Amino acid sequence: MTAVQSRADSTITVRNPATGAVSGTVPIDDPATVAAKAAQLVSAQPEWEALGPLGRKRWLLAWQDWILDNADHITEVLISETGKSHGDASIEAVATADAIAYWASHAKEFLADRHPKAHSPLYRVKRFTTAYRPYPLVGVITPWNFPFAMPGLDVPPALAAGAAVLLKPSEVTPLSAVEFVRGWTEIGAPPVLGLTTGYGETGQALIEHADFLQFTGSTATGRKVAVACAQRLIPYGLELGGKDPAIVLADADLDRAANGIAWGGLFNSGQVCVSVERVYVEAPVYDQFVAKLAARVGEVQQGHDGDTGAMATEAQRDIVARHVDEARAAGARVVTGGSATGVGTYFAPTVIADVDSSMTCMTEETFGPTLPVIKVADENEAVRLANDSPYGLSATVWTADKRRGERLARRLEVGAVNVNDALVNVFCPGLPMGGWKESGVGYRAGGASGILKYSRQQAITSPRLPTQKSELLWYPSSKRRMAVALGAMRVFAARGRRRFGRRPSSG
């Protein structure tokens, strides 16, 4: 049963993919409605910006309190529209609260004026300032896999920067976003966070009115978003598809590697942009590792009170089934799992051994609970195969030698690498999160850069000394004044004899 059931009466009916039960409805906003919401947010934004980082901090922390106080309800809403397990769903509200605290507490520091030093003595008579002003309206389009936590990654830093935000969630899972924005409204915060729901036309309308657009979703849709933003000449950030590799070296703690890769590949039923989707294991430990991984994956329980839940859509479940079936038909060995369970959109956690690099389970984004494993001769082959992908979101390396792991990390063509761990960088806002190659453009988080991306830089110069009526290069021009100005510039810019207008000797 798909999460999106109908468009009847200009509404989206949302169903629980695990049970088929109706979870709720949301309206489909047409372009005129989106335009009206955008205009309201923009009109409220100047007062929000004028509060300054500390004034905004008060509202952000009140919002954080509301989210924590309502975490149980938020979790149930998440489960109702995604089919997640209770454990997977319960992380989202707490992780969002943590992110809000980070941006609220660091905004003053991150947004403070910078005062660059003059690059030449000639300019030391000036005071230089770089100031940061928010984009008036930030548009945020989020996917269906983390319908509360994904807005939690992108919306708080934009609000902390002083921007207004219009959020457009996936039509598959819009109910959690309703709660996300409801919390902001219920605390009485200034009306600078809005919600618009609908399909592609609604998202296109949002792009038409945003001053900055942050999109998370598929690479195919991301290309269209980039074109639409380019036509309007507005900046954007894209986090797109992934096919994250894990490299298991022969010296690794195989029990930890099996446990970590199982969690990194199956968390949220594998529906994570940074899920482990390819595993490369050095030959001496290949059989032993596959056995340990299969045993760990075979213990994973599915269901509301289990480790993982259902797939968010029937279409996604069918992609997983196709990848497994095609691998099996091409000679791979399904060690555990390998099929849909027949209940809702559940697909059994799966390990596939003896995989070939040409199989679709290795070349296409699966976004499901599968772990295909390939035997490699050594770390060089592992790195070569790991890099042989159009995607470059993140990766993991498993080894007893941390320095070796970090050295290997720098050879991988991805935006993040976790050594002897999985997914951890996602929970650390001080680190940048972004993809290389077809996995995205730009970064989210990353300390100061995570909030400055929602800001426009403004250069300000002002005199340090009492001003004169004219400057050397001002009109009316004079050969003498020009000679003095150019001579001074040469002295401080050139090297050796060239500083004085002389050519160096040719000998």
| pLDDT above 70 for 337 | yes
Reported confidence tier of residue 216, pLDDT bands at 50, 70, 90: very high
pLDDT one-digit tens code per residue, 12-44: 999 999 999 999 999 999 999 999 999 999 999
Give me 204's structure tokens: 């296109």
What is the arithmetic mean of pLDDT over 188-213? 98
Give the Å distances, CA to CA, from 104 to 154, 178, 298, 306: 13, 22, 42, 34
The helices-and-strands tally (H runs, E runs) of the chain is 16, 21
Q: Which two tokens stand for residue 49?
A: 């910006």
With 70 as the cut, is the pLDDT of residue 215 above it? yes
Q: What is the pLDDT of residue 472?
A: 86
* CATH 3.40.605.10 boundaries in the chain: 11-240+447-457
Q: How many CB atoms sit inside 10 A of residue 500's CB? A: 10
pLDDT of residue 62: 98
Q: What is the fold of 11-240+447-457? A: Aldehyde Dehydrogenase; Chain A, domain 1 (3.40.605)
pLDDT band at residue 199 under the 50/70/90 scheme:
very high
* pLDDT of residue 3 exceeding 90: no
pLDDT, mean over the chain: 96
pLDDT digits (tens, 9 = 90+) for 106-121: 999 999 999 999 999 9
**pLDDT classification of 8: cutoffs 50, 70, 90:** low
In sequence order, the β-bridge partners of residue 416 are 394
Q: Tokens representing 432?
A: 């940048």
Quick one: pLDDT at residue 507?
Answer: 52
Buried b (16+ CB within 10 A) or exposed e, 136-165: bbbbbbbbbbbbbbbbbbbbbbbbbbbbbb
Torsion of CA 308, 256, 338, 381, to 10 degrees: 130
In sign, the C-alpha dihedral spanning 16, 22, 24, 26 is positive
Taking Cα atoms as reference points, which of 218, 235, 217 lies closest to residue 226? Answer: 235
- Can you give the pLDDT at residue 187? 98
**Position 505 pLDDT exceeds 80:** no
Dump pLDDT digits (tens) for 466-485: 998 988 889 998 899 899 99
Question: Boundaries of CATH 3.40.309.10 in the chain?
Answer: 244-425
Q: What is the CATH number of domain 244-425?
A: 3.40.309.10
Catalytic residues: 239, 273
**pLDDT by residue (tens digit) across 270-307?**
999 999 999 999 999 999 999 999 999 999 999 999 99
CB proximity list for 485: less than 8 A, separation 6 or greater: 472, 473
Structure-token match 């005071």, residue found = 127
Separation between Cα atoms, residue 351 and residue 338, nearest integer Å = 8
- pTM for this model (two decimals): 0.95
- DSSP one-letter string for 54-123: HHHHHHHHHHHHHHHHTHHHHHHHHHHHH---HHHHHHHHHHHHHHHHHHHHHHHHHHSPB-PPPSSGGG
In tens, the pLDDT along 139-163 reads 999 999 999 999 999 999 999 999 9
pLDDT of residue 2: 46
- With 0-12 CB in 10 A as exposed, 13-18 as middle and 19+ as buried, what is 31? middle
